[in-house]
Structure 1
Amino acid sequence: MSTSPPEWALDRFDEHLQRLPLRERKKLRTRRAIQEHALRLFAEQGYAATTVEQICAAAEISPSTFFRYFPTKEDVVIDDEYDPILMEAFRRQPADLGPIEALRAALKEIFPLVYEREREGVLVRTRLMMTEPALRARMFDAMRSGTQKALATMIAERTGRDPGDQRVQAFAWAVLGVLMSAMYAWLDSDATLDLPALVDENLEFLASGLAL
């Protein structure tokens, strides 16, 4: 059952949003509106049956505007607006925190707000990515070119290394691995488990050296 997010989640999320430059905030709001219309149509009539033209009509935008924000229909499911907000929160963490602890602290600021605010949307998007073959393939491409690259950039900044350093790259992939593990566990529970808690537990496990 869909529920509205509590006011505290909206207010605190907007606080993080306001820290971004105006241009970035405007882009994020437009992306969010397009994605909300797309996910509603996917839920109503199925992913394959929904066209870009239908999404544009629902969002009252032109196809050129759609493709400015999402290169393909797959990207409207795969992409999200949260990387810039997470990166801003990560960079604000105390300098004496290592990369995993800084990431955990940033996620504790951002992810519960996203979860309260966008839980149904996150669930719809995740299920689509796991069940639609084209989306599964696009998801891994996006992880490599987007999320992993962003993680490597953040880790490199905090450790004084180059983003292309092999250890930085391996570290970023390890973080993605434990995040994906949390996501699968959440889906396997039919979304009854607390996803932010699962993510934090897995990152704590990674910080321990994955010791069993």
Structure 2
Amino acid sequence: MREAGRTVPGLRERNKARTRAEIRRQAFRLFTEQGYAATTVDQIAAAAEVSPSTFFRYFPTKEDVVLYDDLDPLIIASFRAQPAELTPLQATRAAFRDSLTRLASDELADEEERQRLIQAVPELRARSVDALVQAVRLLAGLVAERIGRPADDLEVLAFAGAVTGLGMATMFDPERNLEQRWRRMDEALGMLEAGLPL
């Protein structure tokens, strides 16, 4: 289905998105109430009114409930929609800004809690390293697509690694809230765009 130039998900996709969101909402509620380690998949499934097998259709592990990033699809779509005359770095900055402005206050609060858990729970922090490697590959693929080079081109990989490194340096800062971390990420991307003069 299309509506005003954009694809509208069908009923099945909307139902799946609602189920995924409810599982995550109940999981985060339970993590807050009783702690991450003390919360079981069975408890999350029961709270979300789904079976454990349904839980596993959406999330392979309890860790994946936290590590799944709702922002990635927004950022990817926004990056692809940026005007062709923007450099990859300008398109990246614009995509991050655009995605942040689309989040409602409750979505910002959910993302804040997700980031807090990743920083506080050792096994989540360890798994997030794998996610960062995947982020480099994902960004390299998007940039390669935009500029017509292979995703394993060294300059493309260096760019993706630099941007991901800036994300690590700015987004894992427990002293700042999510909006402050995003602003610092944007400032850091601006420094990179200026040649990172020190």
Q: Secondary structure at the match of 1:61?
A: coil
How many Å separate the matches in 2 of 1:25 and 1:104?
29
Contact kept in structure 2, 1:179 and 1:199, CA below 8 Å: yes
Q: Which residue of 1 aligns with 2:182?
A: 196
Question: Does residue 178 of the first structure (1) align with residue 154 of the second (2)?
Answer: no
Instruction: Give the residue type in structure 2 aligned to 1:111.
Output: L
Alpha-carbon distance change, 182 to 169 in structure 1, aligned in 2, over 3 angstroms: same
Q: Which residue of 2 aligns with 1:161?
A: 149
Runs of 5+ consecutive residues of structure 1 not aligned to the other structure: 1-14
Alpha-carbon distance change, 153 to 192 in structure 1, aligned in 2, over 3 angstroms: closer
Alignment of 1:1-212 (within 5 A): 19=7, 21-22=9-10, 26-114=15-103, 116-145=105-134, 147-185=135-173, 187-189=174-176, 191=177, 194-212=180-198
How many Å separate the matches in 2 of 1:88 and 1:24?
17
How many Å separate the matches in 1 of 2:74 and 2:14?
10
Q: Secondary structure at the match of 1:162?
A: coil
Q: Secondary structure at the match of 2:140?
A: helix
Identity value in percent: 49
Alpha-carbon distance change, 110 to 192 in structure 1, aligned in 2, over 3 angstroms: closer
Higher relative contact order (CA 8 A, sep 6+): 1
How many Å separate the matches in 1 of 2:136 and 2:24?
22
Alpha-carbon distance change, 19 to 149 in structure 1, aligned in 2, over 3 angstroms: farther
Q: Which moved more, 1:110-119 or 1:197-206?
A: 110-119
Q: Secondary structure at the match of 2:78?
A: helix
Q: Secondary structure at the match of 1:103?
A: helix
How many Å separate the matches in 1 of 2:167 and 2:126?
18
Contact kept in structure 2, 1:112 and 1:196, CA below 8 Å: no
Q: Secondary structure at the match of 1:114?
A: coil
* TM-score normalized by the length of structure 2: 0.87
Q: Which residue of 2 aligns with 1:10?
A: none
Contact kept in structure 2, 1:28 and 1:81, CA below 8 Å: no
Alpha-carbon distance change, 148 to 32 in structure 1, aligned in 2, over 3 angstroms: farther
Give the Å deviation of 1:167. Answer: 2.3
Q: Secondary structure at the match of 2:131?
A: helix
Contact kept in structure 2, 1:148 and 1:172, CA below 8 Å: yes
Aligned pair count reads: 193
Q: Secondary structure at the match of 1:94?
A: coil
Contact kept in structure 2, 1:31 and 1:81, CA below 8 Å: no
Deviations 1:141-177 (A, max 9, x none): 12223x2222112111111111122322221121111
Alpha-carbon distance change, 188 to 159 in structure 1, aligned in 2, over 3 angstroms: same
